[in-house]
């Protein structure tokens, strides 16, 4: 069986609130009668912007995913960064809707909540509220909040609340309220490659340094932290990190000895066998969890990558589900594939 830790979800319940808005994020009808969704990243046809439950379940069954860990899809995450009076009702619509999906499909889904990030008191209040809802295991937070230790300070109330609930926090590449975004100009050559891979991975590497080479996570031992895409490029960069450390700070422990925490996991979304092998060597096989970015989008890729690693079958099973169970088994039930087939 497989637990997909990184399976974004676009709830149709957001449609009405988008239609009611006159500024991005919003939905409007163009001169040809087509519905268009507009965010600060641009415009696109309404089309497949919202998910269908039966389609998702069928995709999961086809690819052997027993449980999907849902989180708000990136183009919709602007609702988290709206002024608090707008973001609170918007994120509540998502959180209540995704909890209903979990409750209606026991064990097939659990979910990360979205929070109103422009106000920490409101964010903590929403995290406290959702942790009492079916299927909710924690919340998603923007990677820009973890680029440096100083950046995290404003978010410590959320970390403390997660620690109190023994909840999980999903650190996902993205901006805080007010951050310029995207950092790569849309007119730049190879925009998608630069933004969606080069910038993303460099940002996640910086987050991993903050999470592992400071004492930040030691302050929240009962919270669980999940970062995606193997935490950036650190598995490729660690030898240089060590070399520079020997030259620049020889009295400090080598970075390669500081890259694990007992409450931190890395997902393998979008990476191949060589990358997964390197991450296992660096972080430990018990630190890696399975991920696809949205089931059908990445399942074939991730399954092929795992099959081609040098890992044993037992180690592959740890990544497919065992590590996720260890991370969050106390927070929500998970289905077996036999249950999923019923």
Structural domains for the chain: 2-341 (3.20.20.140)
User: Burial, 299: exposed, middle or buried (Cβ in 10 Å; 0-12, 13-18, 19+)?
Assistant: buried
* Both tokens assigned to 76: 């919709």
- pLDDT at residue 269, rounded to an integer: 97
Q: Which residues contact 180 (CB under 8 A, 6 or more apart)?
A: none
- pLDDT at residue 341, rounded to an integer: 54
Q: Decide if 175 contacts 117 (C-beta within 8 A).
A: no
The percentage of the chain sitting over the pLDDT mark of 90, rounded to a whole number, equals 79
Q: Which of 207, 168, 216, 110 is nearest to 327 (CA)?
A: 168
How large is the angle between the packed helices 299-307 and 53-63, nearest 10 degrees?
20
Terminal-residue alpha carbon distance, the chain: 14
Name the residue with tokens 């989180």.
71
- pLDDT at residue 1, rounded to an integer: 82
| pLDDT tier at 46, thresholds 50, 70, 90 | confident
| pLDDT tier at 340, thresholds 50, 70, 90 | low
Q: Which residues contact 259 (CB under 8 A, 6 or more apart)?
A: 208, 212, 213, 234, 238, 282, 283
CB atoms under 10 Å from CB of 92, counted, come to 16
- pLDDT at residue 332, rounded to an integer: 86
Q: Is the pLDDT of residue 77 over 80?
A: yes
What are the C-alpha distances in Å from 130 to residues 99, 138, 170, 226? 8, 8, 15, 18
- pLDDT at residue 254, rounded to an integer: 97
Least trusted range by pLDDT, from 29-33, 41-45, 323-327, 336-340: 336-340
> Which stretches of the chain are DSSP H helices?
15-20, 53-63, 84-104, 120-130, 149-152, 156-165, 191-193, 200-212, 234-248, 273-283, 299-307, 313-317, 323-328, 337-341
| pLDDT tier at 231, thresholds 50, 70, 90 | very high
Q: Is the pLDDT of residue 247 over 70?
A: yes
Across the chain, mean pLDDT equals 93
Question: For residues 65 and 339, which has the higher predicted lDDT (pLDDT)?
Answer: 65
Q: Is the pLDDT of residue 342 over 70?
A: no
The C-alpha atoms of residue 130 and residue 114 are separated, in whole angstroms, by 9
* Both tokens assigned to 80: 């988290």
Max Cα-Cα span within the chain: 67
């Amino acid at each position: 069986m497989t637990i997909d830790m990184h399976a974004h979800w676009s709830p149709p319940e957001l449609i009405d609130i988008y239609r009611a808005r006159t500024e991005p994020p919003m939905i409007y009808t163009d001169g040809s009668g087509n519905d268009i969704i507009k965010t600060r990243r641009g415009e696109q046809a309404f089309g497949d912007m919202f998910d269908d439950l039966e389609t998702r379940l069928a995709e999961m069954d086809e690819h052997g995913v027993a449980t999907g860990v849902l989180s708000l899809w990136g183009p919709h995450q602007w609702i988290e960064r709206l002024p608090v009076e707008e973001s609170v009702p918007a994120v509540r619509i998502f959180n209540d809707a995704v909890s209903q999906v979990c409750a209606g499909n026991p064990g097939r889904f659990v979910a990360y909540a979205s929070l109103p990030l422009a106000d920490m008191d409101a964010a903590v209040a929403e995290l406290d509220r959702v942790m009492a809802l079916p299927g909710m295991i924690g919340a998603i937070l923007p990677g820009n909040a973890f680029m440096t230790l100083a950046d995290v300070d404003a978010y410590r109330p959320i970390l403390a609340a997660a620690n109190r609930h023994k909840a999980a926090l999903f650190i996902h590449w993205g901006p805080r309220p007010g951050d310029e975004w995207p950092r790569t100009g849309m007119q730049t050559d190879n925009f998608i490659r630069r933004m969606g891979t080069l910038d993303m991975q460099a940002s996640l590497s910086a987050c991993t340094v903050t999470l592992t080479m400071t004492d930040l996570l030691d302050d929240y031992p009962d919270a669980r932290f999940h970062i995606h895409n193997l935490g950036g490029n650190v598995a490729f960069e660690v030898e240089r990190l060590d070399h520079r450390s020997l030259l620049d700070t020889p009295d400090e422990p080598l970075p390669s000895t500081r890259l694990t925490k007992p409450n931190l996991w890395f997902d393998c979304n979008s990476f191949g066998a060589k990358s997964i092998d390197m991450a296992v060597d660096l972080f430990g096989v018990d630190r890696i969890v399975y991920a696809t970015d949205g089931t059908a989008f990445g399942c074939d890729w991730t399954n092929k990558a795992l099959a081609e690693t040098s890992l044993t079958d037992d180690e592959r099973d740890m990544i497919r589900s065992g590590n996720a169970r260890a991370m969050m088994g106390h927070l929500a039930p998970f289905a077996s594939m036999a249950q999923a087939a019923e």
